[in-house]
Amino acid sequence: MGEAAKVHPDYKPQTAGSLKDYLARLPDVASRLGGKPDGWTVEEVGDGNLNLVFIVKGPSGGIAVKQALPYVRLVGEAWPLPLSRAHYEYMTLTHHGKAAPGLTPTIYHYDEAMALIVMELLQPHIIMRRGMIAGTVYPLFAGVISTYMANTLFATSDMALSAKDKKALIGDFAGNTALCKITEDLIFTDPYRIAELNRWTKPWLDGHAAAFRSDGPLKVAVSRLKVKFLSSAEALIHGDLHTGSVMLTEQDTRIIDPEFAFVGPMGFDVGAVIANLVINYLSQVGHEEKPGARDAYRDWVLRTAEEVWVQFRAKFIANWEKGGIGDAYPRDLFAGAEGQRTLAAEREAYMDRLWQDTVGFASAKMIRRVLGLAHNIDLEWIKDERLRATAEARVLELARDMMVNTGDYRKITDITAAARKANASQPKLTG
Polymer length in residues for the chain: 431
Query: Which residue lies nearer to its own copies by CB, 18 or 340?
Result: 340
Distance in angstroms (rounded) separating the CA atoms of residues 105 and 119: 6
Q: Nearest approach, Cβ of 231 to its own copies (angstroms)? A: 5
Residue 155 vs residues 149, 192, 237: alpha-carbon distances, Å: 10, 34, 11
User: Which residues within the stretch 310-339 sit at the binding site for its own copies (CB under 8 A)?
Assistant: 327-330, 332-334, 338-339
234 makes contact with its own copies (CB under 8 A): yes
DSSP 8-class letter at 15: -
- Residue of 226, 287, 365, 375 interacting with its own copies (CB under 8 A): 226
Q: Nearest approach, Cβ of 74 to its own copies (angstroms)? A: 21
166 makes contact with its own copies (CB under 8 A): yes
- The answer to whether the CB of 258 falls within 8 A of the CB of 111 is no
Q: Are strands 62-68 and 51-57 parallel, antiparallel or unpaired?
A: antiparallel
Residue 232: which of 265, 187, 183 has the closest Cα? 265
Span from 30-38, 342-350, 362-370, 392-400 in contact with its own copies (CB under 8 A): 342-350
What are the contacts of 195-202 at 24+ separation with CB within 8 A?
197/372, 197/373, 198/371, 198/372, 198/373, 199/372, 199/373, 199/375, 200/370, 200/371, 200/392, 201/370, 201/385, 201/388, 201/389, 201/392
Q: At 236, give phi and psi (nearest 5°).
A: -75, 100
- Residue of 230, 318, 325, 417 interacting with its own copies (CB under 8 A): 230
- Residue of 346, 348, 352, 414 interacting with its own copies (CB under 8 A): 346
- The answer to whether the CB of 241 falls within 8 A of the CB of 164 is no
Query: Which residue lies nearer to its own copies by CB, 129 or 226?
Result: 226
Q: What is the dihedral of CA 403, 407, 408, 413, to 10 degrees?
A: 90
Query: Which residue lies nearer to its own copies by CB, 66 or 226?
Result: 226
| Helix (H) or strand (E) segment spanning residue 77 | strand 76-80
72 makes contact with its own copies (CB under 8 A): no
Residue 23: which of 388, 288, 129, 14 has the closest Cα? 14
Query: Which residue lies nearer to its own copies by CB, 184 or 380?
Result: 184
Q: Nearest approach, Cβ of 342 to its own copies (angstroms)? A: 4
Which residues, including other chains, have CB under 8 Å from residue 214's CB and lie 6 or more apart?
A: none
Span from 25-33, 133-141, 223-231, 239-247 in contact with its own copies (CB under 8 A): 223-231
Q: Residue 43: beta bridge partners?
A: 55
- HSE-CB for 241 with a 13 A CA cutoff: 32
270-309 footprint of its own copies as x/- string (CB under 8 A) = ----------------------------------------
Q: Nearest approach, Cβ of 234 to its own copies (angstroms)? A: 5
- Residue of 18, 94, 223, 425 interacting with its own copies (CB under 8 A): 223
Q: Which amino acid is at 8?
A: H
User: Which residues within the stretch 172-201 sit at the binding site for its own copies (CB under 8 A)?
Assistant: 174-175, 177-178, 180-181, 184, 189, 192-193
Query: Which residue lies nearer to its own copies by CB, 181 or 202?
Result: 181
Q: Are strands 246-248 and 51-57 parallel, antiparallel or unpaired?
A: unpaired
- Residue of 214, 322, 337, 383 interacting with its own copies (CB under 8 A): 214
219 makes contact with its own copies (CB under 8 A): yes
- The answer to whether the CB of 309 falls within 8 A of the CB of 275 is no
356 makes contact with its own copies (CB under 8 A): no
Angle 243-247-253 (CA atoms, 0-180°, nearest 5)?
Answer: 105
Q: Nearest approach, Cβ of 315 to its own copies (angstroms)? A: 20
Query: Which residue lies nearer to its own copies by CB, 234 or 307?
Result: 234
- HSE-CB for 396 with a 13 A CA cutoff: 31
Q: Nearest approach, Cβ of 270 to its own copies (angstroms)? A: 16
- The answer to whether the CB of 238 falls within 8 A of the CB of 269 is yes
Task: Write out the residues near its own copies by the rule CB under 8 A.
Answer: 1, 158, 163-164, 166-168, 170-171, 174-175, 177-178, 180-181, 184, 189, 192-193, 214, 216-217, 219-220, 223, 226-227, 230-234, 262, 327-330, 332-334, 338-339, 341-342, 345-346, 349
